[in-house]
Chains A and B, each alone.
Chain A
Amino acid sequence: MIVAQGKSIAEVAKLIEDANKVLVVGCGGCVTVCLAGGEKEVGVLASALRMLRQKENKPLETVEVTLSRQCDPEYMDMLEKYITDDIDCVVSMACGVGVQFIAERFDKWVVPALNTKFAGGAMEHGVWGERCGLCGECVLHKTGGICPIIRCSKSILNGPCGGSQDGKCEINQDVECAWQLIYDRMKKLGQLDKLMEIEPAKDWSKSRDGGPRKVVREDVMIP
């Protein structure tokens, strides 16, 4: 899933300082799972913003709604009835996709309440880790299921670099060296010889380096 993290209340407050009435929109997808922008967080943010403005003697009115997903036009349509003329600003609590989908659909000022971080998963309660760099051409079958693009700090495809020591990455003792993990796993699976193959220069045109991407599935398109 996409993992996101809330901007500070002060930062969001600054983004909406000119507004008197805001619509705070949550998302029931990834950001609910990573506890950053679901219904509960919408409630917390809205009341925090109101309280802050109360203290400043500049009361703020909030309307709260949480869509099943902000990355789907179907749900975007449902937002229509909430986007009334008196709404000065929409605060999106989805990932960057949700913010953009609202902006594409409505002529309203939209601000992001979250920082969209990465594609990853829950490692333990309250801890999420990055697992994929969305490179567009997966190589996990060559590396024992551990991503060298995003988990190696240098995206080395023929690793490890000289800085790998005691299983840690050179950048930080808290970061595991992806290539140590890859080596250990390949060894355990009896596949070490596969790591002798020289992996050629990657085709980054399938990644974001090729410009914005699109996936088209004609078989499921509605004619």
Chain B
Amino acid sequence: MKSGSRLEKLFEQGEFVVSGEIGPPKHSNPAIIKEHAKMLKEYVDAANLTDNQTAIVRISSIASAVHVLGEELEPIIQMTVRDRNRIGIQSDLLGAASLGVKNVLCLSGDHQSFGNHPTSKNVHDLDSIQLVAALKQMRDDKQFVCGEEMKESEPQFLIGAVANPFGDPFEYRVMRLEKKINAGADFIQTQCIFDMERFERWMDMVRERGLHKKAKIVAGLMPLKSHKAARYMNKNVSGMIVPDSIIERMEKAEDPKAEGVQICVEQIQHLQKMEGIAGVHIMAVAWEEIIPTIVEKAGLYPRPKVS
């Protein structure tokens, strides 16, 4: 066991894991985090706490994780390299570990030009692969990035990273995944999948390189609320592809929300059969309350126990 987290144990048991996502609020009242945690805890095995998502200032992922822990849901903190240098990152990681956080997802973070502080200075002291390597070095070698030894209690994290099969250059996406795994990623969450065909092509390459055996690949999903949302994401969210067939299906639906859920459930059932997929990560941005329905409809409820 690297971290002893619930997520790690379920991966080891060979369960098909389900994770969710909670977006912390843009103020200091944690009520909504706790509410979402209560709602999700029976339905997901762990929940991501986003780190100033889309470069908008929110309650920090670590503070949010503590609120989630209080509701007995397991947190996965997101950690971007955009806002902190290696000193800040390592300090925050020690702090997170001291508060009981066991899963960390490493990512570069959306560029600050998208957020509410476009005139800010960004950091990018490390990149996301270097962050993965830093976590591994802290955990496995008991060393800080500078090489100095940690006297005691090294943070024991399950190390996560992200992959986007829909970004370009397409062929390099798998090479980069391999780099992330070589750097120390234990599990991978992918960008939301709408273009299943492209995802399958990507997974073919993943399996060819045997990467699904070296790290747990968790497929990202996002339930759609309307065809407008689908079209908007296709056009405006960097690195996201929503095929016309899905946009049309949403457009024709009598009850678009129900159709969105249905699409998501079908995707889960499809992914369950795909070799090398260890679970799904449901990102229901501003629609967290739909996650229990999706999990139930997909036949993934109740969630397995840690043996």
A residues at B contact (CB < 8 Å): 153-167, 170-172, 177, 179-180, 183-184, 192, 195-196, 198-202, 204
Which residue, A198, A200, A201, has most C-beta atoms of chain B within 10 A? Answer: A201
Dominant secondary structure at the A interface:
loop
Q: How far is the CB of A18 from chain B (nearest CB, A)?
A: 30
User: Do B127 and A167 touch (CB < 8 A)?
Assistant: no
Tally of B interface residues using CB under 8 Å = 38
Q: Does B4 contact A (CB under 8 A)?
A: no
Known contacts A163-B238, A196-B179, A201-B86; is A155 also within 8 Å of B110 by CB?
no
Given contacts A201-B86, A201-B126, contact A158 B238 (CB under 8 A): no
Kindly state whether residue B51 has any CB partner on chain A within 8 Å. Answer: no
**Chain A residues with CB below 8 A from B64, complex form:** none
- Tell whether, in the assembled complex, residue B122 and residue A158 are in contact, meaning their CB atoms are under 8 Å apart: no
A158, A177, A184, A202: the one contacting B179 at CB < 8 Å is A158
Known contacts A154-B82, A200-B130, A160 near B167 by CB under 8 Å: yes
Contact of B133 among A155, A160, A198 (CB under 8 A): A198
Q: Which residue of B lies closest to A149 (CB)?
A: B124
B254 interface residue per 8 A CB criterion: no
Q: Which residues of B contact A163 (CB under 8 A)?
A: 110-111, 164, 167, 238-239
Pairwise interchain contact A154-B111, C-beta atoms closer than 8 A: yes
Q: Please list the 8 inter-chain residue pairs (A to B) with the smallest Cβ-Cβ separation, ordered nearest first.
A: A162-B164, A170-B238, A163-B238, A158-B129, A156-B127, A155-B124, A162-B239, A183-B169
> Which residues of the partner chain A approach B163 to less than 8 Å between Cβ atoms?
162
Q: Are the CB atoms of B169 and A184 closer together than 8 Å?
A: yes
| A164 engages B175 (CB within 8 Å) | no
Q: A154-B122, A200-B130, A201-B86 are in contact. Are A161 and B169 (CB under 8 A)?
A: no
B125 at the interface (CB under 8 A from A): yes
Give the distance in Å from the alpha carbon of A108 to the alpha carbon of B131 in the complex. 49
Residues of B within 8 A of A184 (CB): 169
A155 with B167: CB separation less than 8 A: no
B113 lies within 8 A of chain A by Cβ: yes
**Are B127 and A180 closer than 8 Å at their CB atoms?**
no
Interface CB pairs A-B, < 8 A, 14: A154-B108, A155-B127, A156-B127, A160-B172, A162-B162, A162-B238, A163-B167, A164-B167, A165-B166, A165-B168, A165-B238, A183-B172, A195-B172, A199-B130
B143 proximity list for chain A (CB < 8 A): none
| A156 in contact with B124 (CB, 8 Å) | yes
Nearest chain-A residue to B169 (Cβ)?
A: A183
Contacts of A161 in B (CB 8 A): 108, 128, 167
Using an 8 Å CB-CB cutoff, how does the interface string of B225-244 with A read, 1 for contact, 0 for none?
A: 00000000000001100000
Among A170, A183, A204, contact of B111 (Cβ-Cβ < 8 Å)? A170
Task: Please state if A171 and B239 are interface contacts (CB–CB under 8 Å).
Answer: no
Q: How far is the CA of A157 from the CA of B169 in the complex (A)?
A: 16
The CA-CA distance from A163 to B165 in the complex, in Å, is 11
Name the distance in Å between B120's Cβ and chain A's nearest Cβ.
13
**Bound: A163/B113 CA distance, A:** 13
B134: interface (CB < 8 Å): yes
- Cα separation A196 to B108 with both chains bound (whole Å): 18
Contact (Cβ within 8 A) B108 A177: no
Chain A residue at minimal CB-CB distance from B108: A161
Q: A160-B167, A162-B191, A196-B179 are contacts. A204–B125 as well, Cβ < 8 Å? A: yes
* Contact of A201 with B167 at beta-carbon distance under 8 Å, contacts A154-B111, A154-B124, A196-B175 already known: no
Residues in B with CB closer than 8 Å to A196 are 175, 178-179
Question: Is the CB–CB distance between B134 and A201 below 8 Å?
Answer: yes
Contact of A166 among B128, B162, B168, B179 (CB under 8 A): B168
Closest Cβ of chain A: how far from B82's Cβ, in Å?
Answer: 7
Q: Told that A179-B169, A195-B172 touch, could you supply 5 new A-B pairs with CB distance under 8 A? A: A162-B164, A163-B111, A163-B238, A164-B168, A192-B175
